[in-house]
Amino acid sequence: MTKEQPGLARNRWIDIALRCFADALMLNSAIFAGLVSSILVQEAGSKPTSSGAFAQLLGHYAPWSPLITLLALGIFYVFGFYTRGRGYRGKYKVAIVAQAVTVVFLIVAALSYFFPTAMVLPRSALLTSYFVAVAMLAGSRVWSTIWKAILDNERVQENSLPSVLEAPKVLVIGGAGYVGSALLPKLLERGHKVRLFDLFMYGEEPVADLLNHENLEVIRGDFRQLDKVVKAMDGVDAVIHIGAIVGDPACALDENFTIEVNLTATRMIAEVAKARGVQRFIFASTCSVYGASDEILDERSALNPVSLYARSKIESEKVLSAFNSDRFATTILRFGTVYGLSGRTRFDLVVNLLTAKAIVDGKITVFGADQWRPFVHVDDTASSILAVLEAPIDIVRGQIFNVGSEEQNKTLGELGVMIQRQVPTAECICSLGDKDRRNYRVRFTKIAQRLNYKPQWTLEAGIAQVIKAFQDGLVSDYRDDRYSNVQFLTNKEGQKYLTTDVAWLKSLIENSYHEAQPQPTQDQVTVR
């Protein structure tokens, strides 16, 4: 599990302490109600009572109260009340609360049985206390969830989306790539003034139709160059940082290079953005940070990275979380496993690649068929960025959102079957073994509730889109290096991006903002 920033950790423990206090108060209030009901039952049965009867019952319970309270809080912790365990959420929350309270009262009943002289809690009070405790503890959590949803909905309704005239100026770093070429048209259609900062490593073709747009300004350059970054930030209201070395194989080519591009440069860009008065900073991360798990995960789940790519994203997330403030709102988007076509299509992604193999090779070989992935179309990732950009800033400030839909949590084996249905001539061969250890299903409730976001694409439609691209002749050879990050970086053309002068690079990143920056030579360039 990754370490939290000190401020975040402190706030988390304060939140847990308050929750523990509230639960302890509700538990003892329920027991108090049970004792009162016990007295009322005795009076209804015409049994002799006195003004001291209740005090006597309370006196029996009082010595046991600290022990029972601490025991209950420990049980609640184990059941995920304060760690927000994966089962303790959504429709399962009430059942989990009821189970935990049941365990507590079974222990109380056992204490009363084994210590009859102490009479921890009379039998007549046990049942009432139990039901009141379940109602209070479960009800408070249900009401909290409902109230939060109401407030979030009111915020969205009260804060209308910005008009064309009020649209902020947006800097898109790495906007000529796979996700960026899907995002730029959406930003321009919404009336945003966009500044594109990219090296155009894969050429201008992905965004060629947009380069002459009146609301698009282009800065060609390396986003590790401090002077270029400072210039690009001039007059910008929001930064969308989607530039990185993407994918496990590409990141594994050169670990130092990956860290410099994905982490060190991200820190520098965020520092410049905050210093230049940028209001919003949106960062593209990945659900790969979850790594391997057999449970359904959300934004608060433990991270278990199994690749350098995922680790570099986690460290960048931590850096950006530390930068978040009232004047600098950072938002992190964890994309699912992306598929589909954009201006710069990729065939090193599992959906696109297997579909291409089915069409061209007539065979689909699926390794790790039992592994889960949360799929999302590239067009829907672009829509999620737009949704964050145009949402009221207080709703997205300091937030992490998983991007995708639970309906598209599929195993790779299921994916193979789906492709074969649309390409019935292809043979599908599935294997359970695979060196790729990733295996995760993801929950997307948060982005759906807070931003009213829902992906428009389905896996079936995405597969059909790739098939049509082949049928229409838009793709000639899916094996071409330009369609694969790792293949491009290892060919003659891409090698120059990996042969950067490391000493020059480190001095470039580490120099203070006011120092003169050396100009790169033709070979001193980076990837997006």
Tell me what pLDDT residue 134 has.
82
Across 271-315, the runs of DSSP E, i.e. the strands, are: 280-286, 292-297
pLDDT at 251: 64
pLDDT at residue 522, rounded to an integer: 32
Structural contact between residues 395 and 450, judged by C-beta atoms closer than 8 angstroms: yes
Rounded CA Rg of the chain: 28
Instruction: Please count the other Cβ atoms lying within 10 Å of the Cβ belonging to residue 474.
Output: 11
CATH of domain 169-341+376-406+442-456+482-510: 3.40.50.720
- Alpha carbons 461 and 340: distance in angstroms, whole number: 9
Work out the average pLDDT over 249-276. Answer: 80
Mean local confidence (pLDDT), 184-198: 94
How would residue 376 be classed by pLDDT, with cut points 50, 70 and 90?
Answer: very high
Amino acid at 493: E
Confidence label for 396 from pLDDT (cuts 50, 70 and 90):
very high
Residue-wise burial string across 267-305, b where 16 or more C-beta atoms lie within 10 A, e elsewhere: bbbbebbbebebbbbbbbbbbbbbbebeebbbbebebbb
pLDDT tens figures, 400-446: 999 999 999 999 999 999 999 999 999 988 877 655 667 889 999 99
> How far is residue 59's CA from residue 454's CA, in Å, rounded to a whole number?
56
**Higher-scoring residue by pLDDT: 123, 97:** 97
Give the strand pairing for 427-431 and 363-367.
parallel
- Residues 292, 440: contact at Cβ < 8 Å? yes
Query: Per-residue confidence at 513, pLDDT binned at 50, 70, 90?
Result: very low
The single-letter code of the amino acid at 276 is: R
Q: Between the CA atoms of 378, 207, 481 and 372, what dihedral angle is there, to the nearest 10 degrees?
A: -10
More confident residue, 233 or 76: 233
Q: What pairs with residue 337 in β-bridges?
A: 375
Q: What mean pLDDT, rounded, does the chain reach?
A: 79
pLDDT tens profile 311-352: 888 999 999 999 999 999 999 999 999 999 998 888 888 999
Answer yes or no: is pLDDT of 214 > 70. yes
Confidence of residue 199 (pLDDT cuts 50, 70, 90): confident
What token pair was written down for 264? 């060190």
Q: Are 378 and 265 in contact (CB under 8 A)?
A: no
Q: What is the pLDDT of residue 368?
A: 83
Sequence-ordered list of residues with C-beta below 8 angstroms from that of 260, at least 6 positions apart, any chain? 224, 505, 506, 509
Q: What's the rounded Cα separation, in Å, for the pair 167 and 445?
A: 28
CA angle 357, 462, 441 (to 5 degrees): 95
- By residue count, the chain amounts to 528
Which amino acid, 229?
V
Predicted model pTM: 0.65
- What is the pLDDT, as a whole number, of residue 491? 52
Residue-wise pLDDT tens digits, 45-73 = 545 444 555 566 566 667 777 888 888 88
Domain ranges of the chain: 6-158, 169-341+376-406+442-456+482-510
pLDDT at 164 over 90: no
Q: Which residues contact 84 (CB under 8 A, 6 or more apart)?
A: 300
